[in-house]
């Protein structure tokens, strides 16, 4: 009996150990981040975190040495992996190489240079290579074959399949790289929100909760999971410039913010889907062009849109300004409007009249 009991205890302990290790431990970097938030509230929380911890900006010259650490080929530490590449040495075409000597960097054919995944000229304003600034952020810079980088140029990312390359007037990064690209562009949007909007860099449909986000990136984030190479890259850049890419640490953070296809949830985070937005609007009708919105939980609100009777959006609010426990909408002209309120799991529409 004693022997059987011991075997049972071993089985139970083994089961507990297995279940307890399904999810990775949340890095201490996020200790002061409220991970119970969703939608635009979580976006703002993470954006603040990666901004205030970006304490050691790299110069454009220093980027070379950072990439020689962060983008090492897992199967050959003397090489770096080249974004958009897919083979090495099988044919005579060096432009499609996936791996290359880490010190073979520069501006000549057969070398690798620094690819801005979010293209410099597409940003508003354009990225510069003056530090500090978005143009020298290592999270956005990857080794790329010089000629392949030139072919990509500033083409927008678009859907495709197989190896990377030109798709019509656009660019497909390749099946191996599409998740990496998605997580980089989402990072850039968090870190430089007005300068690096995904909608300017990608061909796709805007998502309801945030018209600046494109469903293409959410699809790629889910379809191409994070691998060990990406994780190492995140750690090395964190060690050099002080901040992390949250979507490499947990791709599911993108799902919590923007919805779409459910990405891998490495931390076991959850959302209470039974929690719904409730709103009171007053006065309604109003006589001075102003109304006040009061919510049961402001953290549930991702976006507020004011739409006139013709269907035109006259106001879009992505970050709520709450004063005296209410949100103010002012400057509304005479007419009938619809207030559309987006949360992580619902769309609520209310009618208001301005007399």
- In the block, tokens 């050959």 appear at 76
336 DSSP β-pair partners: 353
Rounded to 5 degrees, φ, ψ at 28 are: -60, -20
101 CB neighbour count, 10 Å cutoff: 13
Q: What's the confidence (pLDDT) of residue 275? A: 59
The 10 Å Cβ neighbour count of residue 308 is 15
3-state secondary structure of 266: coil
Alpha carbon 95 to chain centroid, angstroms:
28
Phi, psi of 44 (to 5 degrees): -65, -40
Give the pair of three-digit tokens for residue 65.
Answer: 């040495």
How big, in percent rounded to 5, are the helix, strand and coil portions of the chain?
A: 30, 25, 45
Domains and CATH numbers, the chain: 32-258 (no CATH), 279-354 (2.60.40.1930)
User: pLDDT at position 303, please?
Assistant: 84
Name residues of the chain where pLDDT drops below 50: 1-21, 273-274
* Concatenated DSSP letters of 21-64: TSSPPPPGGGTTS-TT--HHHHHHHHHHHHHHT--SPPPTTHHH
Closest CA to 314 of 336, 297, 299, 287: 336
Please compute Rg for the chain using Cα positions: 24
| Burial (Cβ within 10 Å: 0-12, 13-18, ≥19) of residue 227 | middle
Pairing assessment for the beta strands 112-116 and 141-145 based on DSSP bridges: antiparallel
The predicted structure's pLDDT at residue 269: 87
CB contact set of 253 (below 8 Å; sequence gap of 6+): 42, 46, 246, 247, 269
Interior angle at CA 42, CA 197 and CA 135, nearest 5: 35
The DSSP code for 239 is H
C-alpha–C-alpha distance, residues 119 and 153, integer Å: 8
Q: For residue 218, give the 3-state DSSP assignment.
A: helix
CA distance 195 to 47: 13
What tokens appear for 47 in the block?
Answer: 């954006």
278-302 CB burial, b ≥16 within 10 A, e <16: eeebeeeebeeeebbbebeeebbbb
Residue 233 to residue 220: CA distance in whole angstroms? 19
């Amino acid at each position: 009996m004693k022997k059987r009991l011991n075997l049972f205890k071993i089985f139970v302990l083994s089961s507990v150990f297995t279940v307890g290790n399904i999810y990775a431990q949340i890095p201490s970097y996020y200790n002061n981040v409220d991970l119970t938030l969703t939608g635009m509230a979580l976006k703002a929380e993470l954006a603040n975190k990666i901004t205030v911890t970006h304490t050691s900006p790299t110069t454009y010259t220093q980027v070379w040495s950072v990439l020689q650490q962060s983008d090492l080929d897992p199967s050959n530490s003397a090489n770096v992996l080249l974004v958009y590449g897919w083979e090495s040495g099988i044919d005579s075409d060096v432009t499609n190489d996936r791996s290359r000597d880490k010190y073979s960097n520069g501006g000549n054919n057969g070398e690798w240079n620094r690819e801005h995944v979010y293209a410099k000229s597409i940003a508003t304003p354009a990225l510069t290579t003056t530090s500090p600034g978005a143009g020298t952020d290592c999270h956005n810079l990857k080794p790329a074959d010089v000629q392949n980088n030139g072919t990509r140029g500033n083409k927008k990312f678009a859907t495709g399949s197989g190896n990377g390359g030109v798709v019509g007037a656009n660019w497909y990064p390749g099946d191996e790289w599409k998740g990496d690209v998605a997580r980089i562009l989402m990072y850039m949007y968090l870190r430089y929100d007005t300068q690096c909007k995904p909608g300017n860099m990608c061909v796709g449909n805007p998502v309801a909760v945030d018209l600046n986000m494109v469903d293409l990136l959410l699809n790629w984030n889910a379809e191409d999971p994070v691998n060990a190479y990406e994780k190492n890259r995140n750690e090395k850049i964190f060690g050099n410039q002080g901040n992390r890419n949250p979507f490499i640490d947990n791709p599911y953070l993108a799902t919590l913010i923007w919805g779409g296809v459910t990405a891998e949830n490495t931390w076991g985070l959850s959302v209470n889907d039974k929690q719904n937005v409730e709103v009171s609007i007053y006065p309604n009708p109003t006589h001075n062009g102003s109304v006040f919105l009061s919510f049961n939980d402001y953290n549930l609100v991702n976006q507020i849109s004011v739409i006139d009777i013709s269907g035109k959006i006259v106001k879009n609010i992505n970050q709520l300004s709450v004063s005296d426990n209410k949100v103010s909408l002012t400057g509304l002209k005479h007419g009938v409007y619809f207030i559309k309120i987006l949360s992580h799991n619902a769309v609520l529409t209310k009618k208001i009249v301005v007399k």
